[in-house]
């Protein structure tokens, strides 16, 4: 049984559906995109698995605790947590990043991962897995997404540190750092010109699709990755990261 935050669309939906295709029941957490979440839930059910979709703000620890308890009571177990929900807001200068935006971006992208992990951890047993979605911007930076890239860097450090903390419990923690992927977040974040150029600068010359990222999450959650923890996979169209 897997929990996917930000599972209403994009990478989160692709992960939820692929997990279901491989036999997992799925719980999807989303903020307020009810129609999108319903489409994800239906797609999971078409794969023959059960889906529970819960609306709320993962930036709230109270919501995370309540949601996880509801999920555990419903399914009776939790095997995988995919921390995926995120938000980004383009700004040309650090002076344009308001306190409200900075706090909100960290609240969702960092605090939400902490809160979900804290809530799930008491229910995870040996062999369970946590997979965190980060971003290529954690490694390359992004001049227009300064606060977002900072949160993604924090998640890389969070992944590595949590992996060390949970190694004795035989719970693996890994991450996925997608490059330019075509998701609803792109046109919602950038102007028409930037959107049209999305992904053009990578060696493969195009943006990736969510279903080209989800197999990384599936692999890291599976027993095939049993000797991997604290690692980050890079589905990014050919950008060389970290030498």
Q: Is the pTM of this model over 0.85?
A: yes
| CATH number (domain holding residue 179) | 3.40.50.720
Q: What is the mean pLDDT of each run of 10 residues along the chain (243 residues)?
A: 97 98 98 96 98 98 98 98 95 97 97 98 98 97 96 98 98 97 71 67 91 98 98 95 72
Determine, yes or no, domain membership for 154: yes
Q: Is residue 184 part of a domain?
A: yes
pLDDT confidence of residue 31: 96
For residue 240, is it within any domain?
no
Query: How many folded domains does the chain comprise?
Result: 1
Measured in degrees and rounded to the nearest 5, phi and psi for residue 220 equal -65, -25
Q: For the chain, give the number of residues.
A: 243
Query: Which structural domain, as residue segments, surrounds residue 57?
Result: 2-233
Is 243 part of any domain?
A: no
Establish if 242 belongs to a structural domain.
no
pLDDT at residue number 242: 75
Query: Within a 10 A sphere around the Cβ of 62, how many other Cβ atoms?
Result: 11
Is 227 annotated in the active site?
Answer: no
Q: Is residue 122 part of a domain?
A: yes
Flag whether 159 is in a domain. Answer: yes
Examine residue 224 and state whether it is found in any structural domain, yes or no.
Answer: yes
Which of 113, 139, 148, 227 is catalytic? The answer is 148
Burial of 111 (0-12, 13-18, 19+ CB in 10 A): middle
């Amino acid at each position: 049984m897997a929990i996917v935050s930000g599972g209403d669309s994009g990478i989160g939906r692709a992960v939820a559906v692929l997990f279901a295709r491989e036999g997992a029941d799925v719980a999807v957490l989303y903020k307020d995109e009810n129609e999108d979440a319903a489409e994800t839930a239906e797609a999971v059910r078409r794969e023959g698995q059960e889906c529970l979709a819960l609306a709320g703000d993962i930036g709230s620890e109270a919501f995370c605790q309540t949601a996880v308890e509801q999920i555990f009571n419903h399914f009776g177990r939790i095997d995988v947590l995919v921390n995926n929900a995120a938000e980004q807001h383009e700004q040309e200068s650090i002076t344009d990043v308001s306190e409200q935006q900075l706090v909100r971006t960290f609240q969702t992208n960092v605090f939400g991962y902490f809160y979900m992990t804290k809530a799930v951890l008491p229910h995870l047993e040996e062999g369970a897995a946590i997979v965190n979605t980060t971003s290529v911007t954690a490694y390359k930076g992004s001049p227009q997404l300064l606060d977002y890239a900072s949160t993604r860097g924090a998640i890389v450090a969070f992944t590595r540190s949590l992996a060390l903390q949970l190694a004795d419990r035989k719970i693996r923690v890994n991450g996925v750092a997608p490059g330019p992927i075509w998701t609803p977040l792109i046109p919602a974040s950038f102007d028409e010109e930037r959107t049209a150029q999305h992904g053009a600068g990578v060696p493969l010359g195009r943006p990736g699709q969510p279903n080209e990222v989800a197999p990384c999450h599936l692999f890291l959650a599976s027993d095939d990755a049993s000797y991997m923890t604290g690692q980050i996979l890079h589905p990014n169209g050919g950008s060389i990261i970290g030498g």
